[in-house]
Structure 1
Amino acid sequence: MLETYEFLTTENIAAYLASHPEISSVIDAGSIVDLKEVGDGNLNLVFIVKDKQGKGIVLKQSLPYVRLVGPSWPMSPDRARIEYETTMIHSVAAKHLVPEIYFYDPERYIIAMEDLSDHKVWRTALNLGEQHFGAAEAIGEYIARVLFATSIFGAGAEAHYKGIARAINPELCLITEDLVFTEPYFPADRNSYLPENKVDAEAIINDKQLALEIGQLKYKFMTSTEALLHGDLHTGSVMVKSDTSGKAISTRAFDSEFSFYGPIGFDIGACFANFYIALARATALGRTTHADYISALPEELWRAFEKNFRTLWPSRVDKRVFSDQLLEELLDQWKVDAIGFAAAKMVRRIVGLAKTSDIETLEPDLRIGAARGVLRAAQLAVRERHSNTDIPSLTQKMRKIIEEVQTSGKK
């Protein structure tokens, strides 16, 4: 049975804000002049509210079902609590890289947070061919800071165990387990693709080595509790703001409702995957300069992650057996894991439920080749990671595959 509570609407938001005087300095509930619903995601309602002074606030409300599908797919709205708690925890380690939270309403599952409408969703910016220099570096820093802080290294054993118990998120983890690690590798009802890509989807299903690799990655996803992940980190859950030269002056990670304690390589791999998907789009559109820019993003993110994690390492709680040599081995393994998780995410976004606008907004004759390139690049990466973790060279191999299979109406 679906949980019942009042949903936010454009008609009741002013009264709702007026009932929360603690945010009177953030927005004047008596002078609302602009209010729009911008929740283009798969799960929630999201409103941006502005007053006549130009001050704004964002209200995000979890629905008791998956918005993409409707009430036929019920889901606990408690995911709002998880996002609220994770954002607050992550803000301790990386306050400048997450939105400010004003309050959480546990009765109606509403998070009130900072208005970032002067930023752009990074996926949207990439789709438009924009370059925001430094954004990947900022997200690498975010991943390092929040994952170190919530790992056994930064938090210590007792706090780490208590964190794991608090952050159990089985419902949303199950979505990832199904949509990322299971359904794309079988003829599942929720899979979809262009008719011309049927051969590519069948190649994924028939790839036994790929299935084995995905099984290993799924096992790690389900059993590893290294740190408090964002859980759904991609270019659609990052906001960017740049100066006139294209330098990113503000980068924020948001939408952490899939958060849980999991393998450190997962968030990194999710970002890699979306960079490679963006690369397929740029290639399809003939944007060579933009493709060059995107090709550098995976290495930029990894380099920033590694640099920041190394910087934090000397502050680890227990130095007795957690040696510098252990760090080297962990970094090596996390990179292998990240490339594997990237491959899983790439396949999911092409074949499975909940795709990306990078590919879906291409004309069908371009989309065929872009989708094919993403799938074949994923098949390469999941194998190559065991012998080659040099990200620039791996990226160039993946880019070559994407270029070789691109299609257009002229052909």
Structure 2
Amino acid sequence: MTVPLLDVTTVPAYIAGRADLAEVVDATTLTVREVGDGNLNLVFVATDAAGRSVVLKQSLPYVRLVGESWPLSQDRILAEARGYDAAVRHAPDLVPRYHGLDVDRRVLVLEDLSAWSVWRTALDAGVATPGAARDVGRYVADVAFGTSVLGSSSEDVRAAVAASVNPEMCRITEDLVFTEPYVDHPHNSWDAALDADVLALRDAALLDEVAALKYRFLTAAQALVHGDLHTGSVFVAPPGTPGPAAKVFDLEFAFYGPVGFDLGALLGNYLLARARAAVLDAPAHHQAWLAGLAGETWDAFEQRVRDRWASHADTALTDGFLDAWLRQVWQDAVGFGGLKAIRRVVGLAKASDLQTLDGPERAAAARAVLRTARTWVQGRADVAGPADLPDLVLPDVVRPDRAVRHDAPRVGA
């Protein structure tokens, strides 16, 4: 079923028809702007004469990045609503205020965080964001603990797994992260100077590890995960803002999956930011700060899980089990992080971290990401913790001797 789409002229009447929003904004004095710059949805900011505002998000019946040739069910916003429902229960301070879902129109209404910055944008600009990596680690921990058998009964978790299937969005992830970058596919594109590095992605030993990680993604229904937790899905607060330094949004890929997948998405995107800073010769202290983000996120995640362990739901799960579980989550995160980074270089929906660099620097940064990511994927079993995570493998800046390929879309995520 396709539902009518909102536009800037129809949003005021829509809000006026929502009694639950009457105390949030004045529908009679609204100004509306369309701000959606992502790959999938319509997003509007509606502001009244008193300066109060809300965000409305409506799912499109196709992939916006590609167009109507790639249809997509608007029901995916139901999965996003489930994600927000869980986040509000388990990490309410780390997501925008949630004003609920209109099921019939496939519209979510959220707090307007326009005064905040998208984390990727801040990182691209070389801005340090103290506390953000810690807060996203805590977000993953609280939602994972609360929606898994660590914090809920096995009966409740089984029911939640059944209610939270998200097959269409999971298939997109399966294809873009685990399949397409390793075969010839029209979605793929890269700087021609990277031909040898891309060819190396077809190495049999690497493909074995990709297959193992894909199988884990497909089968390990551990907790309700965000499903696309990159730095473009996090807002960071302006300096001096009380409360958390970061809030997570865009949960439409939410599904029951491996906890390390969300952590890995963050690690892979930290690697992109680190490569960008390196080729731009950012100050050493800033590069060191970026290099520490993985540890900051993991330490916050691990500490939060251990802090909550005293209240874990099943007393048959022992302290030794927790240690083993955390080791497995970390190794998953390292492997998934490598794959998430590779896909941003080779596959569809590239990241602005690299795409906004000039050609020679872009090629050098991309080569560093690919080479480092391979070491993560293939060596993850030997990476005991963040201190052992292989650092950026940075080659000399190499100027491409051929034009950049343009056989597929290139967009910032």
When normalised by structure 2's length, the TM-score is 0.94
- Which residue is equivalent to 1:182? 179
Query: Amino acid of the residue matched to residue 72 of structure 2?
Result: M
Q: Secondary structure at the match of 2:382?
A: coil
Q: Secondary structure at the match of 1:252?
A: strand
- Matches of residues 3-152 of structure 1 in structure 2 within 5 Å? 3-33=1-31, 35-152=32-149
CA distance in 1 between counterparts of 2:397 and 2:377 reads 21
- Which residue is equivalent to 1:231? 227
Structure 2 contact 93–244 (Cα < 8 Å) conserved:
no
- Which residue is equivalent to 2:215? 219
- Which residue is equivalent to 1:359? 354
| Structure 2 residue corresponding to 1:339, chosen from 324, 334, 340 | 334
Indicate whether 1:388 and 2:383 are aligned: yes
- Which residue is equivalent to 1:312? 308
Instruction: Name the Cα RMSD after superposition.
Output: 1.5
Structure 1 contact 284–407 (Cα < 8 Å) conserved:
no
**CA distance 1:156–1:405, change in 2 (3 Å):** farther
Q: Secondary structure at the match of 1:48?
A: strand
CA distance in 2 between counterparts of 1:28 and 1:405 reads 57
CA distance in 2 between counterparts of 1:66 and 1:195 reads 27
Q: How many residues align?
A: 399
- Which residue is equivalent to 1:155? 152
CA distance in 2 between counterparts of 1:95 and 1:249 reads 11
- Which residue is equivalent to 2:236? 240
Query: Amino acid of the residue matched to residue 241 of structure 1?
Result: A
CA distance in 1 between counterparts of 2:302 and 2:130 reads 19
CA distance in 1 between counterparts of 2:106 and 2:155 reads 29
Q: Secondary structure at the match of 1:258?
A: coil
| Structure 2 residue corresponding to 1:291, chosen from 283, 287, 290 | 287
* Structure 1 portions without partners, runs of 5+: none
Query: Amino acid of the residue matched to residue 286 of structure 2?
Result: H
Indicate whether 1:258 and 2:259 are aligned: no
Query: Amino acid of the residue matched to residue 220 of structure 1?
Result: R
- Which residue is equivalent to 2:408? none
* Percent identity of equivalent pairs: 43
Structure 1 contact 373–406 (Cα < 8 Å) conserved:
no
CA distance in 2 between counterparts of 1:406 and 1:149 reads 46
Structure 1 contact 135–248 (Cα < 8 Å) conserved:
no
CA distance in 2 between counterparts of 1:192 and 1:200 reads 13
CA distance in 1 between counterparts of 2:259 and 2:385 reads 18
Query: Amino acid of the residue matched to residue 391 of structure 2?
Result: M
- Which residue is equivalent to 1:375? 370
**CA distance 1:323–1:406, change in 2 (3 Å):** farther
CA distance in 2 between counterparts of 1:24 and 1:284 reads 50
Indicate whether 1:329 and 2:324 are aligned: yes
CA distance in 2 between counterparts of 1:191 and 1:291 reads 29
CA distance in 2 between counterparts of 1:270 and 1:144 reads 14
Segment of structure 1 superposing worse, 281-290 or 124-133: 281-290
Shift of 1:127: 0.5
When normalised by structure 1's length, the TM-score is 0.94
Query: Amino acid of the residue matched to residue 160 of structure 2?
Result: G
Structure 1 contact 380–398 (Cα < 8 Å) conserved:
no
Q: Secondary structure at the match of 2:245?
A: strand
Shift of 1:251: 1.3
Segment of structure 1 superposing worse, 335-344 or 45-54: 45-54
Query: Amino acid of the residue matched to residue 178 of structure 1?
Result: D
Structure 1 contact 283–406 (Cα < 8 Å) conserved:
no
Shift of 1:103: 2.4
Shift of 1:372: 0.7
